[in-house]
Structure 1
Amino acid sequence: MGSICWPYFDPEYETLNQRINPPRVSIDNATCSDCTLVKVDSVNKHGILLEVVQVLTDLDLSISKAYISSDGGWFMDVFHVTDQQGNKVTDPKMIEQIEKALGANGSPKTRVQSVGGEYTAIELMGSDRPGLLSEISAVLADLNCNVVAAQAWSHNTRIACVFYVTDSASSRRLDDPARLADIQEHLRNVLRGGDGVAHTNVSTDLTRTDRRLHRMMSDDPDNELVVDGGYGEKAGPCCDFRPRITVEGCDEKGYSVVNVRCKDRPKLLFDTVCTLTDMKYVVFHASIVSDGPYALQEYYIRHMDGCTLNSEAEKNHVIRSLEAAILRRVSDGVSLELSAKDRVGLLSDVTRVLRENGLTVMRAEVSTVGAKAVNVFYVRDASGNPVDMKTIESLRKEIGHTMLLNVKAPDLDKPSQSVGTAKFSFSFGRLFWKFLP
């Protein structure tokens, strides 16, 4: 029998076009008086829009406008950005960082989430209940796991968490299969205290934490959005301006047009682009505008197979998925920002104090930078109602001697106002970049 010959394909051929035509990044501070223009031109590929938005978001830049075009095999984007204080980006180091991350030698997907080599990622999904985050943190502390970073989202009675942990004694990642299995079993026992499906997972997936949380919640069979005329009691935190999402056809161009109008907030663009990308839709053109407190987003999309959204079921699925992605990160509860010297069991102690004061954590962002631990909790009372400020003052007296506490109360029409006596400015995305190589 003669040998079978197969055609040879150079494994680097797939990236040949990108190496011949590397991305071009331009930082323009001359065109607009109130913002910096970040222009990106490159060969188009699926997911590149999400990569670019991800980098700008993780660099703590606010995107007020964006114009996107990726038809014809070429990707051309213009983003109007400012820093967190609303100023143009003029710091040479920040400009260099943007150019490096988005340019020819950049690798934003791996750079943003390259924690796998130093820490063990533990994912949890289950029914939420008051005090659950405290119980999880206590179990990890009892099992000699030190939490160096974490994010937790609660939405529609469900909670999704990603914890990055090390061994408390060695400060190294956990690799022993038997120990990891024991940790998972203990955590499953905690999650089984609620109703519905619960699961834990030790992940080697290097996907960005925010994106992983979106996937976990969208894949959860018990997390379907219950609606009543578009929004129901389980639709998420209440705000004064609910998302309005429509999907229409653009037959002459062969696109489906998705329009989103909702209250503007940080990371909104990332959440919507992430959702469309994970649902295997390609954004060919888009226009993003922040109009005062509101955001207007228009996407011209097709499925990866080239098809538009023809059925009502598919359109409704996109609408519900975008609604859920937007509402998951709406934070109309009080924000507690705590900073203290890091130690093993700190997260367990802090969440225990919150639970003992009758506070329920709706969302949490935890990070460790050097010897400092930074925890941000969005809280409501045990019934899901706004927190009585007397409770906050009691909390301040209890922990104020050991850590810096800043409290921000929501204002639906204006930026959050600080009601604390100590000023502490925090951004999880910026800190997360700092402890990456």
Structure 2
Amino acid sequence: MDTVYKPYFDPDFESLIERIHPPSVSIDNDTWPDCTLVKVDSANKHGILLEMVQVLTDLDLVISKSYICSDGGWFMDVFHVTDQFGRKVTDESLLLYIQQAMCASRRASQEVKACAGREVRPIHVSADHTALEITGLDRPGLMSEISAVLAELECHVAAAAAWTHNGRVACIIYVDDPDLDHAADARAQLENVVEAHHPDGERFSVRVAAPAADRAHTERRLHQLMWADGDYDRCGGGGGRRDETHVTIDHCKERGYSVVNVRSRDRPKLLFDTVCTLTDMEYVVFHAAVSSRGSIAFQEYYIRHMDGCTLDSASERRRVAQCLIAATERRVSHGLRLDVLTRNQLGLLSDITRVFREHGLSITRAEIGIRGERAVGSFYVTDASGQDANPETVDMVRQEIGGTVLMVNNSPSHSPQGLSQRTSRKNSEDDNKVQEEEPRFSLGAKLWSHLERLSGNFRPIRS
């Protein structure tokens, strides 16, 4: 057998640049009256933008605007952020967490986690449990059948998240079971459930992932699963209606970039979803500007592939456009939101989803996890045909599950809010302006002038 020699790489080398030039993160609550500025100045690496955005979105902070530059091996970004109610971020422990968590070498330390004073990861995110990952053809009652199998096998569900899009479903269920043989048995039975209603040749997947500290963020993993499952195949160019996602891709010859413009309805975590997709497709964002006007969000990215190439072929541009449209649509909430807050117990997910199925309700999106001894989560439901659920049916479901356990969420505070956070009156006024004047201007032109000014304003946070 021939001997294959490989070069040796010191495992500490990858973090050498960061240790020589650690990220500088500053918080500015003085410049703007209605938002907090988070400024990041750091050595550049692939995926750093996604890491920064993920820190903010995991705290349920709203990014109303951002300017990004990562040319020349250096990364500079300015995020305009507010809390869920459109207010500045003033909690000192939260600000300290943001500053420290954006430094990759300290991101997982207990010191950083403790300084926030609360759990910062979403309740359905878990790195300490065995993960069951399922993709395939969506159908009414599928979640109920899956959770029934787990309940029969006495698998304790620690958290779960599921998305549906274009007739496909991606689901991640975390089970509190260190016995991988038991998990493998669950996988075999789940394959039978998922395959049962799949036509011959229809793709589906059921896999088991052991606990891992470096496991992908759950929401990022859901994007990866749906992308691998090909849910973007049926996405078009969009733009038929003003609230549809519309993607255009042009070439910036003088600077050697492909310019991607995304216009869509504004909503929570929109920036995370698009940056996540570009990162996982191995595109590098060199410059970007994102903002919103009324209820419409605008994102402009100057990108190249990791190999340095631009998007030259029509097929590649079409594929990127389809994937970005899918990324913005997957998290859109269809149906009525039902919130769950109850004491955790074995088979809880099975019990709730069984009642949904028996009353003809279909789950379009689900997120549930454990917080202390309580199970906390949300389900978005429609009727079996995808239409709005009948209020009488929902009331019967609530009575059967328990009115104190399952609550219909009609609170205005849960209305979609994303890149910008404004009052409904302000939104209405801005929407009228958007309709009157077609917002077709280049955010990139503003980016070049802004970054020169912003790059001189990075300073350490005041203690």
Normalising to structure 2: TM-score of the pair? 0.81
Q: Aligned residue for 1:115?
A: 126
Q: Which residue identity lines up with residue 200 of structure 1 in the other structure? A: V
Q: Could you tell me which residue of structure 1 aligns to residue 157 of structure 2?
A: 147
Distance apart, 1:394 and its partner CA: 2.2
Equivalent of 2:207 in 201, 219, 223: 201
Take 2:102 and 2:260, find their aligned partners in 1: how far apart are those partners? 27
| 2: CA distance, partners of 1:248 / 1:412 | 36
Deviates further, 353-362 or 279-288: 353-362
Deviation at 1:107, TM superposition (A): 2.6
> Do 1:50 and 1:277's aligned partners in 2 also have CA atoms closer than 8 Å?
yes
Amino acid across the alignment from 2:179: D
Q: 1:311 aligns with which of 284, 308, 313?
A: 313
Q: How does 1:360-371 map to 2 (within 5 A)?
A: 360-371=362-373
**How many Å apart are 1:230 and its aligned residue?**
4.3
In 1, are the aligned partners of 2:162 and 2:171 still within 8 Å (CA)? yes
Q: Equivalents in 2 of 1:12, 1:25: separation in Å?
A: 23
Quick one: structure 1 residues 256 and 109, their matched pair in 2 at CA, closer, same or farther if it must change by over 3 Å? farther
Give the stretch that moved more between structures: 105-114 or 396-405: 105-114
Q: Considering only aligned residues, what root-mean-square deviation do their CA atoms show, in Å?
A: 2.7
Aligned partners of 2:239 and 2:245 also within 8 Å: no
Equivalent position of 1:212 in the other structure? 221
Match of 1:135, as an amino acid?
E
Q: Aligned with 1:13: secondary structure? A: coil
State the distance in 2 between where 1:9 and 1:162 align: 34
Which residue in the other structure is 1:182 paired with?
Answer: 185
Paired residues for 1:270-285 under 5 Å: 270-285=272-287
- Measured after TM superposition, the shift of residue 349 of structure 1 is 0.4
What's the secondary structure of 1:86's corresponding residue?
A: coil
CA 231–144 in structure 1, closer or farther in 2 if over 3 Å, else same? farther
* 2:107 aligned partner, one-letter code: S
Q: Choose 197-206 or 283-292, whichever is displaced more.
A: 197-206
Q: Percent identity?
A: 54
Output the CA distance in 1 between the equivalents of 2:404 and 2:92.
37
104-113 or 311-320: bigger deviation: 104-113
Amino acid at match of 1:380: T
Deviation at 1:11, TM superposition (A): 3.1
Compare 62-71 and 150-159 and name the one that shifted more.
150-159
Counterpart CA distance in 1 for 2:87 and 2:315 is 43
Matching residue within 182, 191, 194 for 2:194: 191
**1:387 shift after superposition:** 1.5
Report the counterpart of residue 225 of structure 1 in structure 2: 233
In structure 2, what is the equivalent of residue 101 of structure 1?
101
Find the counterpart in structure 2 of residue 298 from structure 1: 300
Alpha-carbon displacement from aligned partner over 1:217-251 (angstroms, at most 9, x marks no partner):
11115x3422566489xxxxxx9711010000000
For residue 90 of structure 2, what is the aligned residue in structure 1? 90
CA contact (8 A) 1:293 1:413 kept: no
2:163 alignment partner AA: W
How far off is 1:174 after superposition? 2.6
Contact 1:60 1:83 in 2 (8 A): yes
- Note if 1:125 corresponds to 2:132: no
Does 2:267 match 1:256? no
Q: 1:120 to 1:139 in 2, by over 3 A?
A: same
How far the C-alpha of 1:367 sits from its partner, in A, is: 0.8
Distance 2:144 2:6 in 1: 57
2:328 corresponds to which of 323, 326, 329: 326
> Please, which runs of 5 or more residues in structure 1 have no aligned partner?
167-172, 233-238, 417-437
Whole-angstrom distance in 2 between the partners of 1:364 and 1:6: 45
Q: Which amino acid aligns with 2:346?
A: V
Secondary structure of 1:115's aligned partner: coil
Instruction: Give the distance between the partners of 2:247 and 2:147, measured in 1 at CA.
Output: 37
Deviations 1:275-297 (A, max 9, x none): 00001000000001021111000
Give the alignment partner of residue 396 of structure 1, picking from 377, 395, 398: 398
Name which structure has the greater RCO, CA cutoff 8 Å, separation 6+: 2
